[in-house]
Amino acid sequence: MSFWFTVIRQVGRNLRMTWGSQLMTLLTVSLSVLIFAFFYLIYTNMLNLGHKLGDDLSLIVYLEEEPGPELQQQLINKINTFDEVEEVRFVSRAEAFQRFADQLGKNQDVLNEMPRDFLPPSIEVLPMKNLRSLNQVKLFSAYLARLPGTIKVQYGQDWVERFYYFTKLLSIVVLLSGTLLIMTTIFMVAYTIRLTILGRQAELELLKLVGATNNYIRTPFLLEGLLQGLLGSSLGIAQLYILYQWIKLRFSGPGFLNVFELSFFPPSVSLTIIGVSILLCTMGSYSTMQKFLRI
């Protein structure tokens, strides 16, 4: 009889004898993976959204007066002194009026009584793609506000700040759910293996006396932990995928989800989550054996 055949038979026997607690552990592991992976999925999608919004980020510098060609060049030079930018666009009063009228569409007749120069001229600054962090954007905004003739700088401060703090909060939730995943998988698997060991104390003692090697006795328990990790995490990821498909189907059409494209993990991330879960469960199993398996 080969070693692996014997070990697999032992694992089968263990699972049969303690199927109740094994099932509970499996569900707990899968739930932990589901919770962690769910928040991680939201987090990664938010990061993607952040990158996308960052690409569209522009700072609008409202000016007191329309700059002439020489002043325009001077302002461009000043802006480039802080950092290189993607593009600098000057918007005249007339251009600003026309844009506003276009935005009003059918209701543009409300502007009939208004003078065509009531909107201030502005400069639209598209920063480089590497200008990502909130602090950098804030510094750049403060720099632009100090340019001569500037009334105000706008880039949707409130929105950007809220989004930034929301992403921060999500990263903390991901961290917490990750810790939860680590603790539940290790403790639950360790507890189940401990129950199995205590329930089979007499058999393990006998196995030792008839000459079973340490590997013969330990490997089935390690394999149990490994199986719990594999099945539990695969189940968790599968549940999340079903949930993801349901959300996509349920909320497709005009609405929030059209603002950005919701995407699932690439296979490599799913495999990493499964791999880490397997490792954690096997570690839980190993630590219990070290404590309770006196061989």
Of 97 and 216, nearer to another protein (C-beta) is: 216
Residues near another protein (CB under 8 A) are 1-3, 6, 202-203, 205-214, 216
Least Å distance, CB 249 to another protein, is 50
Neighbours of 189 (CB within 10 A): 33
Least Å distance, CB 213 to another protein, is 4
Of 1 and 249, nearer to another protein (C-beta) is: 1
Least Å distance, CB 9 to another protein, is 8
CB-CB contact of 248 with 257 (8 Å)? yes
CB-CB contact of 91 with 124 (8 Å)? yes
Of 211 and 267, nearer to another protein (C-beta) is: 211
Least Å distance, CB 196 to another protein, is 14
Of 2 and 268, nearer to another protein (C-beta) is: 2
CA distance 37 to 173: 11
CA distance 133 to 127: 12
Of 100 and 216, nearer to another protein (C-beta) is: 216
Distances (CA, A) of 216 to 15, 19, 203, 211, 238: 17, 21, 13, 10, 33
Least Å distance, CB 172 to another protein, is 46
CA distance 96 to 121: 7
